[in-house]
Amino acid sequence: MKLERLADLFDYTRGQEKRTLIAVNAVDSHSLEAIAEAVNLGIVSAIVTGDQLEILEQCRIANIDPEVFQIINAETETEAARLAVELAQKTPCCILMKGLIHSDIYLRAILNKKTGLLPPGGVLSHVSVIDNPNYHKLLIVSDVAIIPYPSIPQKIAIIHYLKEMAMDFGIAQPKIAIVTPTEQVLPSIISCTDAVEIMKVVETGQFLPAIVFGPMALDVALDPESAKIKNITSEVAGDADCLLFPNIDAGNIFYKTNTKLCGADQAAVVMGARVPVILSSRGDSIRTKLNSIALAALLSI
């Protein structure tokens, strides 16, 4: 089944076995509303950690029935993260979600070498799905929130994540653009020289069945007319399913431009851990958090 738009996630995941959502320090109404809605939609069952009295108060304010999830009391953000990660270690088919907690505390618990969720040698990367009404299909992009300046090995790992997510959406042969400012190989631009090195890996067939091409400017990746003008004939040109950004600067700006100026719907997860991880921003809407829960449920199937 191919999922054409982001809203299709809900119909698809509702038909699957429920996953267990474990929310870390979910003491804010935004997180609790999204979690309660996901439970009511039948996507997940839920456990939340955090100050129990504050959680109950936020439920009262937002008119949420606290009986829809299990509450595990925690006195501090650090304790809430530790308890949640410990629970995720022993809960099959689960999802970890960030509530109202500093990202560094949240990620520190995930990355803890003894008790965390990152496999040895693993790479965490933030992968987003963007449903922009001005593009003819979904866009899957990375990295916009975790790795500031990914190395070539990290970019290779990210391409695998992009391919995996695209195939989970039913895209049999994902088209992945290695985004750079220009198609020219300019030694002064690291993203261009990195793209050349990655294309050597492409030639080995490591990313099959995905089609990966770069260096490629964003206009060429998304606009057939630009590709025609620049005489770029790759199958990716003008029809990219996935975008590998050169750094967090470019990726984050692209993500927020879509969110704030383009009316795009979006969802995001962190891939590379033993379970799907939701790293919600304080600026994310309830809808984005709900979308992200559904996306994480899809990946955990």
Q: Is the pLDDT of residue 281 over 90?
A: no
- Sorted by where each starts, the structural domains of the chain and their CATH numbers stand as 8-118+273-299 (3.40.50.10950), 125-261 (3.40.718.10)
How far apart CA 194 and CA 11 sit, in angstroms, is 39
Q: Is 129 helix (H, G, I), strand (E, B) or coil?
A: strand
Q: How many CB atoms lie within 10 A of CB 195?
A: 26
What residue has token string 């008790």? Answer: 115
Model pLDDT for residues 151-205, shown as the tens digit of each residue: 999 999 999 999 999 999 999 999 999 999 999 999 999 999 999 999 999 999 9
Q: What is the DSSP string of 47-103?
A: EEEE-HHHHHHHHHHHT--GGGSEEEE-SSHHHHHHHHHHHHHHSTTEEEEE-SS-H
ω into residue 65 within 30 of 0, thus cis? no
pLDDT digits (tens, 9 = 90+) for 221-280: 999 999 999 999 899 999 999 999 999 999 999 999 998 899 899 999 999 999 999 998
Q: What is the pLDDT of residue 51?
A: 96
Give the model's pLDDT for residue 206: 96
Q: Tell me the per-residue pLDDT of 25-82, one tens digit each, with 9 for 90 and over.
A: 999 998 999 999 999 999 999 999 999 999 999 999 999 999 999 999 999 999 999 9
Q: What is the pLDDT of residue 2?
A: 85
Tell me what the mean pLDDT of segment 201-222 comes to.
Answer: 97
Q: How many CB atoms lie within 10 A of CB 108?
A: 15
Burial (Cβ within 10 Å: 0-12, 13-18, ≥19) of residue 148: exposed
pLDDT of residue 284: 79
Residue of 70, 21, 71, 62 lying closest to 41 (CA atoms): 21
> How confident is residue 144, by pLDDT bands cut at 50, 70 and 90?
very high
Task: Return the pLDDT at 218.
Answer: 97
Cβ–Cβ under 8 Å, residues 26 and 35: yes
Q: Quickly tell me which residue has 């410990």 as its tokens.
A: 86
Which pLDDT score, from 0 to 100, does residue 301 have? 62
* Per-residue confidence (pLDDT) for residue 260, from 0 to 100: 87
Tens digits of residue pLDDT in 99-119:
999 999 999 999 998 899 999
Backbone angles phi, psi at 188, to 5 degrees: -80, -10
